[in-house]
Amino acid sequence: EAQVTQNPRYLITVTGKKLTVTCSQNMNHEYMSWYRQDPGLGLRQIYYSMNVEVTDKGDVPEGYKVSRKEKRNFPLILESPSPNQTSLYFCASSLGPAGGYNEQFFGPGTRLTVL
C-alpha cells in the first residue's frame, strides 16, 4: 500500500530535549516536505527536499533541522525544542515539486507537546 508513515504519532517532551520525528514513504517520490499545523494558521511549510541531499527552508524553518540521506526518509529534528514548537506536524511526499500536477501524499500527523 502506497503510504507516508510518521513516528511517533504522539509525543510529549520537555524543553531542550532533542527529538527526531521520522518520516518514510514507499512511493519512490523525489519531493518531500514537512509542515506544521497551528490553529488559525493552517499548514505552514517548515522544510522541503527535492531529492537526496537536497534540502531547503520553507516558511518557518527556525528551530528545525532536516536531512535526506535516502530517498525514502526525511526526518525532522528539533535540537532544542521549545513550547512554541508544540504543534501538529505533517510529512508529505510527491513525485515532483508540491503543487502543480503532483498530488502530495500526507502522513498521518505527529502531535508534539513541548512542556
Partner 1 sequence: AQKVTQAQTEISVVEKEDVTLDCVYETRDTTYYLFWYKQPPSGELVFLIRRNSFDEQNEISGRYSWNFQKSTSSFNFTITASQVVDSAVYFCALSVKSQGAQKLVFGQGTRLTINP
Task: Provide the binding-site residues for partner 1, judged by CB under 8 A.
Answer: 33, 35, 40-45, 48, 50, 56, 58, 88, 90, 97-104, 106, 108-109, 111
Contacts of 58 (CB under 8 A, 6+ apart): 33, 34, 35, 44, 45, 46, 47, 48
Q: Among residues 14 and 41, whose Cβ is nearest to partner 1? A: 41
Q: What's the closest the beta carbon of residue 103 comes to partner 1, in angstroms?
A: 6
CB distance 90 to 76 below 8 Å: no
Q: Looking up cell 509542515, which residue turns up?
A: 35
Q: Among residues 58 and 63, whose Cβ is nearest to partner 1? A: 58
Q: Among residues 83 and 96, whose Cβ is nearest to partner 1? A: 96
